[in-house]
Amino acid sequence: MSNIAIRVEGLGKMYRIGGKQERYRTLRDTLTDAFTAPFRRASSLLRGQAYGAANLNETIWALKDVSFEVKHGEVVGIIGRNGAGKSTLLKILSRITEPTEGYADVYGRVGSLLEVGTGFHPELTGRENIYLNGAILGMSRAEIDRKFDEIVAFAEIEKFIDTPVKHYSSGMGLRLGFAVAAHLEPEILVVDEVLAVGDAQFQKKCLGKMSEVAGEGRTVLFVSHNMDAVATLCSRAFVFDAGARVFGGSSSEAIDFYYDSIFGRTKKQSHIVFEQPATLQHTATITRIEILDVHRNPVSAIHTWDEVVFRIQYAAIDRIEKGSIILDIRDRKDQRLLVMDSGLKVPIRKGVHQIDCVVSRMPLASGEYFLSAGIAVSNSQWIWREPHVGFLQIVGQDVFGIGRPPAYSRMMFAVEHRWVDSSGDHTAPVK
Amino acid sequence: METDIVQEVIEETATEQKAATTSVVAPATRAEPKPAYHLRIEPSRGWVSLKLRELWEYRELLYFLTWRDVKVRYKQTVLGAAWAIIQPFFTMVVFSLFFGNLAKIPSDGIPYPIFSYAALVPWTFFANGMSQSSNSLVGAANLIKKIYFPRLVIPISAVVSGVVDFALAFIVLLGMMLAYGIVPTINVIFLPLLLLLAFVTALGVGMWLSAMNVQFRDVRYTVPFLTQFWMFATPIAYPSSLIENDLLRTIYGINPMTGVIEGFRWALLDTNTAPGPMIIVSSLAAVALLVSGAFYFRRMEKTFAAVV
């Protein structure tokens, strides 16, 4: 029993959306509210509504009735779509926000890593920021002294250690941030999607560091959309959906469950791969993605080399002058195969609008893929992002006329090519 | 003070050392795993405790945040740390010109420039501390949203970092005293206590305002006004001896800065307004501000991450 590291019982977190309480407001709002509230209440009572009923629909449970246990030394992955409550759970466990109901017992010191480089100050040098960031993450000065060289070596910034961080490239800043965080040694480590930083090589290094940490017998809760990372690092995994823990089991079972849940959801309405109501939390959200064929008719499956249209419907609270909509297509291993980025050319207009992404010739071989979507503003800041928005079925067709349609088992892409006999006098395509 | 967010149970000693004292081994090989630290995370209601012990555990963070504030404050300014002196010094020049020379405001027999500058040095410390700490939480929004630590660290470090500016301005004050041939009395030994009183006042107000600033951004616009009004309500340009009734003068001490300023003049310039009951009233008022501010701050703390 004393082997438990984290015990969560009936944990829930309610947020008020569009409501007044969770958003900052001016004194005037409060004053006018104080004056008008009695009248509003009176009128709603007159209309026969219960007192306060008007406010009920303004709340949302980001997490509801979640219970689980994690043992010491376990590395547990947490997967699920955006808004499933994963990050809320981590925020509660790292004591950034309080739960609304339920409780969590934590045995051991918790170190949380929800972001890389929190509290970096651009005017300070790398050396100074290591100390500052380390202190913010909960390291003592002696501890930082001891690990200083290791941190610098890991971040590969030896030469720039006394340069102000504002002169660093964004990659260097991220590397330094991760390096400091990676040298935290709490008994329980809570990590949110921070491995997705830097270039591929650095990501590999981060992943290596994480498995080292996991191998040391420390307890780790690990939120990620990178299924490969979850599969390699975690022995167990939980799947979250709509604020509830819907599955718990070995990580490979959990990943299957997760993919199946996406798969199952999209099977019902085949040509609509993604649909969700607009929220006010983001300046802009994608509310629907539909797949159309060359004649703009809805289709459920795409054929290799066909023209495909992703019709994206978005809702924006404000006009975004320099925004881009980004779609990417990944395989089951979460490898990004295609990226369609509108660049900063298409302004995102206020209101609900539609935009088409036309892929004139789908290069993917037949197989199952996942679509991710996001809206970003300049310098690749996401204002809305949803990995694995939907499932894509690519159906093979014999585009090369060789009797075998290109399939994912043999290749990822089907590129247009031809064979030429170059030995003779005149070149002609091989028939 | 009902339920606390977190109850720290069992063997607190282990928490003294931040580096985990329990060696981390695979659970299988661990003979009798006995967690040294247990937290219960649950909803809190109403007034919560101040958790001063936890604040003490985070003293290194306080040190680093203060150090950052000091280092960064005058980066990319031409005059740099000179700003710490320019502000009170030129206010003194203006005051001397208008209040001293033109309006002929009495100054307890002290040359007006040094009379007002001795007041402006602690006042500037207070005013800057108050405004810096009022905006400190909003300025640290990204920290608050991503990392847990006792939030009180933020307004405290904002006030503490002002001590460096105070020291610089104070050196100029000593230089001026030398120039005017004024020798401080033995009472200078009370200066640290008087500075502490100014610190407590600034922090008390700062805690109130910074917590309110999270909810109501009006605070940002209120602080400059408040500073201005408060300055005229404090005997900086004039001596408190203008109030002849002793009882009224004591009541005047409800403004804690009155006690601080008159105390500074008494300790350094040997004015005959030895503070006495006034400073007691000032101290009580300052402590009341500090305690109420701290509790209000802690009560609002749970909303910070969601609202800021």
Give the pLDDT confidence of A110-122 residue by residue, as tens digits. Answer: 888 888 888 889 8
Q: What is the pLDDT of residue A70?
A: 93
Q: Which residue, among A183, A187, A212, A236, would best test binding to B if mutated, counting the most B CBs under 10 Å from its CB?
A: A187
> What is the distance between the alpha carbons of residues B132 and B153, in angstroms, rounded to a whole number?
13
Exposure on the CB side of residue B116, measured as CA atoms within 13 A: 23
- Nearest Cβ partner of A186 from B20, B145, B215? B20
Mean of the per-residue pLDDT values of chain B? 84
The pLDDT confidence band at residue B20, using thresholds 50, 70 and 90, is very low
Backbone angles phi, psi at A22, to 5 degrees: -90, 5
Mind telling me how many Å the CA of B11 is from chain A's nearest CA? Answer: 12
Q: What is the pLDDT of residue A1?
A: 45
Do residues B197 and B106 lie in contact, with contact meaning Cβ atoms separated by under 8 Å? no
**Hey, how many other C-beta atoms are within 10 angstroms of the C-beta on B217?**
15
The pLDDT confidence band at residue B13, using thresholds 50, 70 and 90, is very low
Whether A108 and chain B come into contact, CB under 8 Å, resolves to yes
> Domain A62-261 sits in which CATH superfamily?
P-loop containing nucleotide triphosphate hydrolases (3.40.50.300)
Residues of B whose CB is below 8 A from A28: 218
What mean pLDDT do residues A185-189 have? 86
User: So what CATH class is A270-395?
Assistant: mainly beta
Residue spans of the domains in chain B: they are 1-48, 50-307
Q: What is the pLDDT of residue A270?
A: 62
Judged by CB atoms closer than 8 Å, whether chains meet at B217 and A108 is answered as no
The pLDDT confidence band at residue B25, using thresholds 50, 70 and 90, is very low
A 117-176 residues with CB < 8 A to B = 118-119, 121, 123-124, 128, 131-132, 135-143
Residues 6 or more apart from A404 whose CB is under 8 A from it? A398
Q: In this structure, what is the dihedral angle of CA atoms B13, B15, B19, B21, given to the nearest 10 degrees? A: 40
Mean of the per-residue pLDDT values of chain A? 81
Q: What is the pLDDT of residue A194?
A: 67
pLDDT digits (tens, 9 = 90+) for A2-50: 588 999 999 999 887 654 444 455 666 666 766 666 666 555 545 444 4
- Nearest Cβ partner of B61 from A103, A124, A135? A135
Q: What is the pLDDT of residue A186?
A: 84
**Residue corresponding to tokens 């299957």:** A256
Q: Which residue, among B3, B144, B147, B209, would best test binding to A if mutated, counting the most A CBs under 10 Å from its CB?
A: B147
Q: What is the pLDDT of residue B3?
A: 39
Residues 6 or more apart from A152 whose CB is under 8 A from it? A126, A130, A158, A161, A179
Residue spans of the domains in chain A: they are 62-261, 270-395
Q: What is the pLDDT of residue B202?
A: 97
Whether A72 and chain B come into contact, CB under 8 Å, resolves to yes
The pLDDT confidence band at residue A67, using thresholds 50, 70 and 90, is very high
Nearest CA-CA partner of A76 in A187, A209, A221, A212: A221
Q: What is the pLDDT of residue B274?
A: 67
pLDDT digits (tens, 9 = 90+) for B231-263: 999 999 999 888 888 888 888 989 999 999 999
Q: What is the pLDDT of residue B12?
A: 36
Q: How many residues does chain A have?
A: 431
Judged by CB atoms closer than 8 Å, whether chains meet at B72 and A112 is answered as no
Q: What is the pLDDT of residue B47?
A: 75
Do residues A138 and A184 lie in contact, with contact meaning Cβ atoms separated by under 8 Å? yes
Pull the structure tokens for residue B69.
């504030």
Buried b (16+ CB within 10 A) or exposed e, A385-422: bbbbbbbbbbebeebbeeeebbebeeebebeeeeeeee
Backbone angles phi, psi at A241, to 5 degrees: -150, 130
pLDDT of B74 above 90? no
The pLDDT confidence band at residue B123, using thresholds 50, 70 and 90, is very high
What mean pLDDT do residues A233-242 have? 90
- Alpha-carbon distances of A350 from A122, A323, A326, A345, rounded to whole Å: 34, 12, 18, 16
Whether A97 and chain B come into contact, CB under 8 Å, resolves to yes
- Alpha-carbon distances of A7 from A69, A104, A221, A359, rounded to whole Å: 4, 6, 12, 48
Mind telling me how many Å the CA of B25 is from chain A's nearest CA? Answer: 6
The pLDDT confidence band at residue A428, using thresholds 50, 70 and 90, is low
Predicted model pTM: 0.73
- Alpha-carbon distances of B102 from B98, B108, B115, B117, B242, rounded to whole Å: 5, 17, 16, 17, 18
Share of chain B above pLDDT 70, in %: 87
What mean pLDDT do residues B215-233 have? 91
The angle, 0 to 180 degrees and rounded to 10, between the axes of the packed helices B162-180 and B112-134 is: 180
Q: What does DSSP assign to residue B78?
A: S
ipTM: 0.79
Shortest CA distance from A213: residue in chain B: B24
Q: What is the pLDDT of residue A42?
A: 56
The pLDDT confidence band at residue A429, using thresholds 50, 70 and 90, is low
Indicate the SS3 state at residue A300: coil
pLDDT of B34 above 70? no
> What is the distance between the alpha carbons of residues A309 and A331, in angstroms, rounded to a whole number?
19
Do residues B306 and A62 lie in contact, with contact meaning Cβ atoms separated by under 8 Å? no
The pLDDT confidence band at residue B22, using thresholds 50, 70 and 90, is very low
pLDDT of B119 above 90? yes
Indicate the SS3 state at residue A390: strand
Do residues A284 and A373 lie in contact, with contact meaning Cβ atoms separated by under 8 Å? no
> What is the distance between the alpha carbons of residues A254 and A381, in angstroms, rounded to a whole number?
30
- Nearest Cβ partner of B38 from A23, A28, A105? A105
> What is the distance between the alpha carbons of residues A92 and A96, in angstroms, rounded to a whole number?
6
Q: What is the pLDDT of residue A321?
A: 81
Do residues A176 and A157 lie in contact, with contact meaning Cβ atoms separated by under 8 Å? yes
Residues of B whose CB is below 8 A from A141: 60
pLDDT digits (tens, 9 = 90+) for A189-233: 888 876 666 666 777 788 788 888 777 888 899 888 777 788 888
Q: What is the pLDDT of residue A76?
A: 93
